[in-house]
Amino acid sequence: MLSIRPCVPAAWVLSAPWRTESPAVRFFILFLLVVVLDQLTKLWVVHSFELYQSLVIIPGFFSLTYLTNTGAAFGMLAGHPVWWRQLFFVGVALIALVAIFFLHRKIAAENRWYTVSLALIAGGAVGNLIDRVRLGAVVDFLDFYVSTHHWPAFNLADSAITTGVGIFLLINFSQSRKEKHGKSV
C-alpha cells in the first residue's frame, strides 16, 4: 500500500521558528518574507512583461503594468542626476533601517504588532533598495485606476511599507487613547 508522508515533519511545523516568542526572530522572519516575495514578484514581472506592457486583471480598475520609477514615491526626484538620487536613496534607506532596528529593540516588548509593523516597513525598504542598487530604479507593477484616472503604480514593497506605517499609527493611536482614558478615570 502506498503511503503519503508529509515532506515536513509535523513536529517541526508545530515548533516552527515563526511560533517563537522572540520578537527579534519574528521580526527577521517577516522581514525576510517581505523582501523575498517582493523580489520574486518583481522578477516575475521583469521576465514576463516588456517595459510599459499591461495586462488587464479587472477592466476599468486594476492591471499589472511593468513600469520603473527612478524617483521616490509618486516619481518625486526623478529629474535629478542619477548619482545624486542613488546616494540620497541609499543613504536615507540605510539611516531608516538603522532607526527601525533600534526602535524595534526598544518597543517590541510593548506590543507584538510593533514587530509586525516595523518588519513590514524594513522589508519594504530593503526590497526597494535592492532594486535601486541593482537596477537604478524601482520596478512597479500594481496599477489601480478608474476609467483613465490612474493611482501611481506601486509594488509589494510599497504595500508593505504603507501597511506597516498604518499598523504602527493604529497601535500608537490606540495606546494614546488607553492612556488618556486611564488617566481620566
pLDDT number for residue 62? 97
Check if 143 is active-site: no
Q: Which residue in the list 38, 131, 140, 143 is annotated as catalytic?
A: 140
pLDDT number for residue 78? 73
C-alpha cell at 34: 517581505
Q: Which residue in the list 38, 131, 143, 158 is annotated as catalytic?
A: 158
Residues 6+ apart with CB under 8 A from 38: 123, 124, 127, 128, 155, 156, 157, 160
Under-70 pLDDT residues of the chain: 1-20, 73-75, 182-185
Asked if 42 contacts 158 with a C-beta cutoff of 8 angstroms, the reply is no
Measured CA to CA, the distance from residue 185 to residue 182 in angstroms comes to: 6
What is the rounded radius of gyration, in angstroms, for the C-alpha atoms of the chain? 20
Neighbours of 142 (CB within 10 A): 20
pLDDT number for residue 77? 74
pLDDT number for residue 175? 85
The whole model's pTM is what?
0.83
Measured CA to CA, the distance from residue 143 to residue 157 in angstroms comes to: 14
